[in-house]
Amino acid sequence: MSSVTTTPKGDRRVSPVFLGIAAVMAVSGYAVWKGFSDSAAFAVFLFVVSAWVVSLCLHEYAHARTALHSGDITIGAKGYLTLNPLKYTHALLSIVLPVVFVILGGIGLPGGAVYIERDRVRGRWRHSLISAAGPLTNALFALVCAMPFWLFGLGGVPLAFRQALAFLVFLQVSATLLNLVPVPGLDGYGVIEPWLSQRIRRQIAPFAPFGLIAVFVVLYQGTVNNAFFDLIYAILGHLGVDQNSIYCGQDLFRFWSTQDPRCSVAAFFGP
């Protein structure tokens, strides 16, 4: 006789908060596409930020859904399956901080966290899959956003929308790579942790709160920084996303700054 993991419907119903964020993404994206907004840059800002938050919610949902099917039946009661960012254990770390990093630094900071009762999960592969589910979601989000670049071509895609998508893909790829770094506090470490001995885990545990800080300190070093961004641009190049579009997408995103004239329609296509 087999048992089936179930959760009440209320625990799985998509949150109005998430639907509201998704609506902002859809409306602002449409405004960018059609050029309805007097300020294309502000519309791009709304589109990228809301899409980024949607991707963060999906990232955490992927962790939660995978954990549910791996044995943690408490996930539903915690509200993680509703996609409501306010239900996360640390909304500041999961949503606010990544958004601030995008605004200030233009880089996809990994979010987190949902609290998973790991003692309910059996099997090292399941533990690894739970951790990998989030970054894989970011990677899938990047592929979907990059589809106009590598699948359909860019004919008929408005310039501002193309640039906004390019910057959004950049954020997703950078977040995926950062999150896969095998450092405590990041999902990459969660993937390999089940395969480490108890002795090594105990030795590493005290450093877990400082993992992300250490990553950014290392990334600040010129050689590492160059290698990291070279890898990002290499991946984006294979997806057909060019650096000029990324740069101009970020330039538009920063609506509070003067737009670089090199990102105008005339600069791209000539008079």
Domain count, the chain: 1
In a domain, 1, yes or no: no
Where in the sequence numbering do the catalytic residues fall? 60
Q: Does 4 map to a domain?
A: no
- The answer to the question of residue 108 being in a domain is yes
Residue with the bigger pLDDT between 199 and 90: it is 199
The DSSP string of 188-252 is: HHHHHGGGS-HHHHHHHGGGGGGHHHHHHHHHTSHHHHHHHHHHHHHHHHHTT--HHHHHHHHHH
Q: Is residue 113 part of a domain?
A: yes
- Does residue 264 lie in a domain region? yes
- Mean pLDDT, rounded, for 69-97: 83
Task: Provide the mean pLDDT of the chain.
Answer: 86
Stretch 2-28: mean pLDDT: 79
- Structural domain of 137: 10-269
Tell me, yes or no, whether 21 lies in a domain: yes
Q: Is the pLDDT of residue 237 over 90?
A: yes
**Is 185 within a domain?**
yes
Q: Considering only residues 105 and 45, tell me which one the structure prediction assigns the higher pLDDT.
A: 45
How large a percentage of the chain has pLDDT more than 70?
88
Cβ atoms 78, 87 nearer than 8 A: yes
Looking at residue 83, what is its pLDDT?
A: 92
pLDDT for position 111 = 63
- Between residues 211 and 1, the one the model is more confident about: 211
Cα–Cα dist 89/207, whole Å? 20
